[in-house]
Amino acid sequence: MDTELKLLTNKLLKKESPDQIVNDFKKYINQNSDHIIFNWHPLGFVHSKLCNIPNIGDLRLHVWLDGFRSTQLPHMPIHDHIFNVNSFILTGTVTNHIYELGTDNGHKYRAFEAEYNNGGSLLIPTEVLLTCSLKSSTVHNKGDFYIVEKGIFHETTVEEGNFAATLVIATEKDETKQPKILGPIKNDEYFYSREKCNEPILTILNDRIY
């Protein structure tokens, strides 16, 4: 693991100077671009696992391109995590939507559990049917920090035609649970691939963060 990434992660967790974090990150990607690989996420953005830091968690980079989103269908954006999501906005504007679940009357979703294998994610239906309502939406801009706690159902959006990038630290992972996704009511399995992204992401990103 790179010492630079460990130092960067500590600065993120301590919510130190956003400008310094951006400068440190730009320096890192300029020196290590050959080692950073991006894959398409089923929700349309690209992502890269930069490293795992023992006793802390994974450091990841998420990028929403302004020209193209490779969103896979059926689109299932509402999900939870088995870890705390600690996000820092490198550039752009990101909206985080928090949802409240129930079992009362209304449009119902089926809860799916995700398994990761064969270069992708398999969503396995459960017997749980839920209703879902929007609880809050918060806009986060460049330099902002925010946290989504594990087990909270949420959706992250970046408007079409806009560019955004975030650094994410996945902390306090609960290995006893599976991540859950809300999807179609029918009792089918869905497989989503995680194809390699061949776009020059770091070149684009280096031009967009300052």
Range of the domain at 125: 3-208
pLDDT by residue (tens digit) across 169-193? 999 999 999 999 999 999 999 999 9
> What stretch of H or E contains 138?
strand 120-141
pLDDT at 55 over 80: yes
| Average model confidence (pLDDT) across the chain | 94
Quote the pTM value.
0.94
Tens of pLDDT along 117-149? 878 999 999 999 999 999 999 999 999 999 999
Cα–Cα distance, 120 to 40 (Å, whole number): 10
Residue 52 in tokens: 């795992």
Instruction: Identify whether the C-beta of residue 120 lies closer than 8 Å to the C-beta of residue 191.
Output: yes
CATH number of the domain where residue 107 is located? 2.60.120.10
Distances (CA, A) of 90 to 22, 47, 145: 6, 14, 10
- Tell me the pLDDT tens digit for each residue of 60-104: 999 999 989 999 999 999 999 999 999 999 999 999 999 999 988
Looking at the 3D structure of the chain, how many domains does it have?
A: 1
